[in-house]
């Protein structure tokens, strides 16, 4: 492919049509010696960008911010957010949106550089990112995608050839991230707090047109927008819970309007089942613990409603009543998504009274005996228990018999049940010690082979093959696993 061929870029900049309050035009900061560390060929093809080889000089420049792609109008987005409950004014402090790539299928996808330098919203920060956190986001976001969980995705990680200072000097890097959009609950909070009613309405109309065009056909499109976002968040968080994923920092600026997972700082996957599981070093109170995620989702949605109130009804009391009525559906929507997912994990094709008790009893036993969340469901799927200590417990064997009787009542073959369970119980997740092993090899020793192998294994999580056996083992470390924001 000729190095001059750039027709694969098909960028538009619809976000720039919003009022100027919502963004600031800014170019990435030039870096010293960029080099590609990871490149996602599969995603590049989906985006229509595979026509350029990742070895090409132009591609390295584009993905590092040293050159701007054709038609790009780079910008940083403004937003606000409740961070651990405290409201503050924010914005893209180190991320720059290149534009929206129109894919061969006609989808509009944001292309953003994370770690691309200072912006007007950096608040004293250097606008840079370290290699380790950018590799972590690549690993986890692509793992969630393979688990069929809506998420932003990672196109590439580029080293900058420069060091950044955190607790110590670290190698710098830039992540190229794609998303349906980067519009957040915090974007609406920003509009409500510092913008006019016309600007708030303009933002809402833009989101509806871009993400929820069916809302244009109802009497109050903004109420319908709220309903759609509630449903998307209920479905998303249920999917997190079903695979034992702990996001770690569910601030309103980390909650997308599109229903995609975003921002993978202190995130991790649970080993032993415990609803109180917290990994983030800064979450001292357990606000964002695994078991709290559904409730925090509802709390964030309440903050979204507060921003939308003027669009629900001109009379505030009436608007509040509408918001409360709509939000009341969230708990039921989440529970429905989660219970249906748990039935699938247990091979239950139909719904029967007593299923909720069967599910809750299993989780209670798993918590009591500190059973590995993922591996317990793998053992149930394959009915092979090996050295799983929980299986030797009398009360678990009694539960196991109840479950088998429940399965046998169904009008389904054993093969159908097994297939259902295999497709809902991943054989592998990003085990925390495996992620750390890969990051250490890349950051401390310049060896990306471990990262690449891990990404490969995680790309087919529902393939229950022998090659994945070594990736199923939990860490033997005695100390609790801790994660950090990486900002």
Q: Which residues are designated catalytic?
A: 253
Identify each DSSP E strand in 166-286 by its residue range: 169-179, 245-246, 268-269
How far is the C-alpha of 356 from the C-alpha of 342, rounded, in Å? 9
Measured N-to-C along each axis, helices 185-194 and 293-312 cross at an angle, to the nearest 10 degrees, of 40
By the 8 A CB rule, do 160 and 64 touch?
A: yes
Strand partners, 34: none
The tokens for 334 are 């989440």
Inter-residue contact 332 to 294 (CB < 8 Å) = no
Q: For residue 93, count other CB atoms closer than 10 A to its CB.
A: 17
Shortest CA distance to 245 belongs to which of 180, 304, 290? 290
Segment (H or E) for 467: none
- DSSP strands (E only) in 92-165: 95-102, 108-114, 129-130, 153-165
DSSP secondary structure letters along 418-432: HHHHHTTS-S----H
Beta strand 35-39 with 153-165: parallel, antiparallel or unpaired?
antiparallel
Which H or E element spans position 80? strand 80-83
Q: Which two tokens stand for residue 376?
A: 């317990």
Inter-axis angle of helices 221-243 and 293-312, nearest 10: 170
3-class SS at 97? strand
- The pair of structure tokens assigned to 290 is 């695994």
Helix (H) or strand (E) holding 76: strand 75-77
What are the DSSP calls for 326-377, one per residue?
HHTTHHHHHHHHHHHHHHHHTT--S--TTHHHHHHHHHHHHHHTT-BHHHHH
**Number of Cβ within a 10 Å radius of residue 283:** 19
């Amino acid at each position: 492919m000729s190095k001059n061929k750039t027709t694969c870029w098909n960028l538009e900049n619809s976000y720039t049509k919003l009022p100027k309050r919502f963004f600031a035009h800014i170019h990435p900061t030039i870096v010293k010696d960029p080099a590609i560390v990871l490149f996602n060929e599969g995603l590049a093809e989906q985006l229509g960008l595979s026509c350029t080889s990742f070895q090409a000089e132009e591609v390295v420049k584009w993905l590092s911010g040293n050159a701007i792609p054709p038609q790009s109008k780079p910008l940083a987005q403004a937003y606000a957010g409740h961070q651990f409950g405290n409201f503050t004014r924010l914005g893209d402090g180190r991320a720059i949106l290149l534009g929206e790539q129109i894919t061969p299928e006609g989808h509009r996808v944001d292309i953003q550089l994370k770690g691309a330098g200072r912006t007007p919203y950096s608040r004293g920060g250097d606008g840079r990112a370290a290699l380790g956190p950018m590799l972590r986001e690549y690993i986890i976001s692509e793992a969630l995608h393979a688990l069929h969980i809506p998420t932003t995705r990672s196109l590439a990680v580029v080293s900058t050839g420069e060091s950044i200072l955190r607790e110590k000097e670290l190698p710098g890097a830039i992540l190229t991230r794609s998303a349906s959009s980067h519009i957040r609950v915090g974007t609406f909070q920003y509009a409500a707090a510092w913008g006019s009613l016309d600007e708030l309405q303009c933002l809402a109309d833009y989101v509806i047109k871009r993400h929820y065009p069916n809302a244009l056909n109802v009497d109050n499109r903004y109420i319908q927008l709220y309903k759609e976002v509630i449903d998307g968040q209920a479905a998303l968080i249920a999917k997190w819970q079903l695979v034992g994923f702990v996001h770690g920092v569910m601030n309103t600026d980390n909650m997308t309007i599109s229903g995609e997972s975003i921002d993978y700082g202190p995130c991790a996957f649970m080993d032993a089942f415990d609803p109180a599981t917290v990994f983030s070093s800064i979450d001292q109170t357990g606000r964002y613990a695994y078991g709290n995620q559904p409730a925090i989702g509802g709390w964030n949605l309440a903050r979204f409603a507060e921003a939308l109130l003027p669009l629900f009804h001109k009379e505030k009391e009436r608007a509040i009543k509408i918001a409360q009525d709509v939000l009341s559906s969230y708990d039921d929507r989440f529970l429905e998504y989660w219970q249906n997912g748990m039935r699938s994990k247990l091979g239950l094709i139909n719904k029967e009274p007593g299923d909720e008790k069967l599910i809750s009893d299993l989780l209670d036993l798993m918590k009591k005996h500190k059973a590995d969340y993922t591996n317990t469901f793998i053992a149930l799927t394959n009915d092979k228990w090996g050295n799983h200590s929980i299986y030797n417990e009398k009360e678990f064997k009694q539960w196991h018999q109840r479950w088998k009787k429940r399965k046998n009542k169904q009008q389904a073959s054993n093969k159908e049940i097994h297939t259902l369970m295999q497709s809902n119980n991943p054989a592998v997740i990003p085990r925390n010690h495996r992620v750390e092993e890969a990051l250490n090899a890349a950051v401390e020793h310049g060896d990306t082979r471990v990262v690449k192998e891990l990404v490969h294994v995680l790309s087919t999580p529902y393939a229950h093959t022998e090659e994945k056996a070594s990736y199923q083992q939990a860490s033997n470390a005695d100390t609790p696993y801790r994660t950090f924001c990486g900002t």
